[in-house]
């Protein structure tokens, strides 16, 4: 009797043990990992959650885990109960190879589809690289060409940045040397820029204009109130009041927040259900959709009023104009009726509003910090701008949109590239293995998610050793044909725009006659390859206009240390926890 019972218990014990073992993380052979996590049913999830809660930077924690293995390839257990490990890579050459040359093996990660795809199910960003992705990209084709960007988008974006400069002119006067937060103003300016790009000059609502109007209306008492009692304490930030925004703008901003919340949620579908059931979601989302539909209908009206040839594009003044024009062309070619208000067009248009303002403003906030903390680079940049825009200097005016878009200023290109490198707005790219494959000599099963960092080793820390024979054949071949890009290991982490400047003949040096070399060393803020950022040319244009106009008009003085750290929050982007500027007008 007792024996039998004992036997039963041990069989149960054995089965439980087996179950336990089956539910433990299953490391991929040969790839380094944290051994303590491999002994826990939840793997690295508790560490990840703890980092998310304590530092708000789970992605920075992920990078620190990769760093701890000392290997350019590591694995991490983020799927509970024996789910497949994630692989992380910190090595520019292999990453570039995967993104640029091995697109068939590595496609868009389904993690993005399961998170971002909940709010934006029809946007091409969440699709694998298939025929549908291609057709949606054809709809957007040409929007990133100079003809559209310089001819149509640049003057509009410039107009909205000009308002930011005026707004900061007033704020600088009121703050008289005290710091203030640039965050909301930069977000609003970037939103205005993308609205200008998307819907054109005639679009009636803006975020910055109401702020400027409110600022100009302030009476002396209100100004005194803003300055506060402690006007004497030069390091206390001034807290400016936000003027109310039109409900359309509010709905766009709130929809962006919803997308961000769902994307960063561990259970996005549940999150969406929760939002729909218990929050203002329906109202916000419907207002947002109504606005998009109205803008598309207006574009169709404008198109139909044109009496020129169907192919005549001269009426196109915004991205939605362009999209409806292309849809009409495709419909004609395919012999079907054009359909302008589809879930695809809705999500594509909403997508660039979201992708466009969140990323650019985060990068600008890092940029303001970096320029404030690197006074030498900032003065060099200002002198470069002043000598290149000599007519504007002589006439004591701002450089025009066309001057900014068309003047070659190597140090400006270098500063923007360095801001993108050091302000890691998007710290890497994610791919899913579509087949069983090999990375750095290790077999990786189909379905594995691979996180490719653009931070850490070989980007901002010395490259880790890799045996050349462990590299993929295409990676080895490319090195033989084109050589290998590497930074000088000294000061890889420092903000040094000079690293992007080389002699016109290709040699690097500190003398005059330097040109900007976008391939001076490893960087990939927009990722690489076919699925890299679609909007990068617009992002560069916006940054170019914003950086020029702000540095032209304001000196960014250093902020007190407690306001100028580099702590971040990982949400849709990796953004500063605290951003402050202390401004002084530049005298021309
Ligand atoms: C400084 C600003 C920006 C940064 C740092 C940035 C970064 C990125 C990154 C890292 C990706 C992922 C690429 C990959 O997985 O390989 C991406 C994708 C994308 N970005 Fe950006 N982006 C910026 C601005 C913009 C703007 C202004 C737009 C649109 C107006 C935009 C639209 C997109 C789209 C549509 C994709 C998806 C492309 C695809 O899946 O084929 N981005 N971006
Ligand atoms: C903007 O609106 C005005 C008046 O409503 C119109 O005359 C003009 O053609 C419009 N411009 C564009 C680019 O749609
Ligand atoms: C929002 O709309 C959904 C249907 O799309 C509905 O089921 C839900 O009850 C609505 N929520 C609220 C709070 O009205």
Task: Give the residue from 391, 415, 409, 368 showing the smallest Cα distance to 550.
Answer: 368
Do 237 and 559 touch, CB atoms closer than 8 A? no
Q: Ligand 3 atom 3: the closest Cα is on which residue?
A: 276
Token duo for residue 93? 């050459």
Q: How do residues 8-32 score in pLDDT, each as one tens digit?
A: 667 777 888 888 888 889 999 999 9
| The pLDDT of residue 507 | 64
Of 195, 533, 573, the residue with max ligand 1 atoms within 8 A of its CB, to mutate for a pocket test, comes to 533
Q: pTM of this prediction?
A: 0.94
CA angle 557, 562, 566 (to 5 degrees): 80
Atom of ligand 2 nearest to the CA of 302: 14
Looking from the CA of residue 430, the nearest atom of ligand 1 is 15
Say yes or no to pLDDT of 372 above 50: yes
pLDDT of residue 308: 72
Q: Could you tell me if the CB of 202 is within 6 A of ligand 2?
A: yes
Contact status, residue 374 vs residue 128, Cβ threshold 8 Å = no
Structural tokens at position 190: 């970037």
Same fold, 13-115+426-516 and 146-422+533-585: no
Cα–Cα distances (Å) from 389 to 251, 334, 409, 451, 498, in that order, read: 39, 49, 9, 42, 20
Asked if the model's pLDDT at residue 7 lies above 80, the reply is no
What is the CATH number that goes with domain 146-422+533-585? 1.10.630.10
Rounded to the nearest whole angstrom, what is the distance from the C-alpha of residue 283 to the centroid of ligand 3?
9
Q: How many CB atoms lie within 10 A of CB 5?
A: 9
Task: Give residue 284 CA to ligand 3 midpoint distance, Å.
Answer: 12
Which residue's alpha carbon is at the smallest distance from atom 14 of ligand 2? 202
pLDDT bucket at 486, cuts 50 / 70 / 90: very high
Q: What is the pLDDT at residue 1?
A: 47
> Domain locations in the chain?
13-115+426-516, 146-422+533-585
Q: Which CATH number fits domain 13-115+426-516: 3.60.20.10, 3.30.43.20, 3.30.56.10, 3.40.50.20?
A: 3.30.43.20
The answer to whether the CB of 200 is under 6 A from ligand 2 is yes
176 CA to middle of ligand 1, Å? 38
Q: How far apart are CA 442 and CA 449, in angstroms?
A: 14
Name the residue among 94, 77, 115, 87 with its Cα closest to residue 31: 87
C-alpha 348: how far from chain center: 17
Using alpha carbons only, what angle is made at residue 197 by residues 210 and 115, rounded to the nearest 5 degrees? 95
Q: How confident is the model at residue 232 (pLDDT cuts 50, 70, 90)?
A: low
Check if 397 has its Cβ closer than 6 Å to any atom of ligand 3. no
Q: What is the rounded average pLDDT of the residues 489-493?
A: 94
pLDDT at 473 over 90: yes
Over residues 171-188, mean pLDDT: 95
Query: What is the Å distance from ligand 3's center to 274 Cα?
Result: 10
Residue 96 clears pLDDT 90, i.e. is over it? yes
Ligand 3 closest atom vs CA 282: 1
The β-bridge partners of 432 are 107, 449
Give the mean model confidence (pLDDT) for residues 148-167: 93
Would the pLDDT of 268 be above 60? yes
Q: How far is the CA of 276 from the centre of ligand 3 (A)?
A: 5
Return d(Cα 557, Cα 552) in angstroms, integer: 14
Average pLDDT, the chain: 93
Question: Three-state SS for 435?
Answer: coil
Residue 203, ligand 2, Cβ within 6 A: no
Q: Looking at the chain, how many residues does it have?
A: 588
Contact yes or no for 214/243 (Cβ under 8 A) = yes
- Whether residue 185 has pLDDT greater than 80: yes
């Amino acid at each position: 009797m007792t024996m039998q019972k004992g036997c039963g218990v041990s069989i149960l014990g054995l089965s439980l043990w087996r179950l336990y073992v089956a539910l433990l993380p299953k490391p991929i052979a040969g790839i380094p990992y944290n051994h303590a996590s491999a002994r826990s049913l939840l793997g690295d999830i508790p560490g990840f959650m703890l980092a998310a809660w304590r530092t708000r930077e789970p992605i920075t924690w992920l990078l620190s885990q990769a760093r701890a293995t000392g290997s350019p390839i590591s694995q991490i257990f983020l799927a509970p109960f024996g789910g497949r490990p994630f692989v992380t890579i910190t090595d520019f050459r292999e990453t570039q190879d995967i993104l640029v040359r091995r697109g068939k093996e590595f496609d868009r990660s389904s993690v993005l589809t399961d998170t971002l795809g909940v709010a934006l199910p029809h946007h091409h960003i969440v699709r694998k690289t298939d025929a549908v992705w291609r057709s949606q990209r054809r709809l957007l084709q040409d929007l990133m060409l100079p003809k559209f960007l310089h001819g149509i988008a640049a003057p509009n974006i410039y107009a909205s940045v000009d308002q930011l400069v005026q707004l900061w002119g007033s704020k600088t006067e009121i703050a008289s040397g005290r710091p203030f937060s640039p965050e909301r103003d930069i977000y609003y300016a970037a939103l205005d820029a993308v609205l200008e790009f998307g819907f054109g000059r005639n679009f009636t609502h803006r975020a910055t204009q109401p702020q400027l109007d409110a600022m100009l209306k302030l009476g002396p008492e209100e100004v005194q109130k803003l300055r506060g009692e402690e006007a004497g304490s030069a390091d206390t930030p001034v807290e400016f009041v936000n003027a109310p925004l039109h409900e359309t703008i509010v709905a766009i901003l709130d929809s962006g927040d919803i997308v961000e919340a769902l994307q960063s949620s561990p259970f996005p579908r549940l999150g969406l259900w929760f939002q729909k059931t218990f929050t203002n979601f329906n109202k916000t989302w419907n207002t947002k959709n109504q606005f998009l539909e109205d803008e598309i209908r207006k574009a169709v009206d404008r198109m139909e009023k044109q009496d020129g040839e169907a192919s005549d594009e001269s009426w196109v003044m915004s991205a939605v104009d362009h999209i409806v024009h292309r849809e009409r062309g495709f419909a004609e070619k395919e012999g079907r009726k054009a359909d302008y208000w589809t879930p695809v067009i809705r999500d594509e248009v909403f997508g660039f509003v979201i992708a466009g303002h969140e990323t650019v403003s985060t990068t600008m906030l890092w940029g303001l910090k970096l320029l404030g903390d690197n006074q030498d680079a900032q003065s060099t940049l200002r002198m470069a701008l002043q000598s290149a825009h000599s007519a504007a200097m002589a006439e004591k005016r701002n450089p025009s949109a066309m001057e900014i878009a068309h003047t070659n200023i190597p140090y400006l290109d270098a500063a923007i590239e360095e801001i993108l490198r050091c302000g890691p707005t998007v710290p890497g790219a994610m791919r899913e293995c579509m087949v069983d494959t090999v990375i750095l000599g290790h077999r990786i099963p189909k379905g594995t998610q691979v996180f490719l960092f653009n931070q850490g080793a070989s980007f901002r820390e010395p490259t880790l050793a890799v045996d050349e024979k462990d590299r993929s054949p295409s990676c080895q071949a490319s090195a033989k044909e084109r050589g290998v890009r590497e930074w000088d290991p000294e000061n890889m982490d420092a903000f040094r725009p000079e690293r992007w400047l080389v002699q016109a003949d290709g040699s690097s040096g500190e003398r005059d006659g330097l040109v900007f070399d976008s391939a001076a060393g490893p960087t990939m803020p927009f990722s690489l390859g076919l699925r890299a950022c679609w909007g990068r040319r617009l992002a560069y244009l916006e940054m170019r206009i914003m950086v020029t106009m702000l540095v032209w008009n304001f000196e960014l003085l250093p902020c007190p240390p407690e306001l100028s750290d580099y702590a971040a929050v990982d949400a849709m982007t990796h953004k500063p926890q605290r951003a402050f500027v202390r401004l002084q007008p530049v005298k021309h």
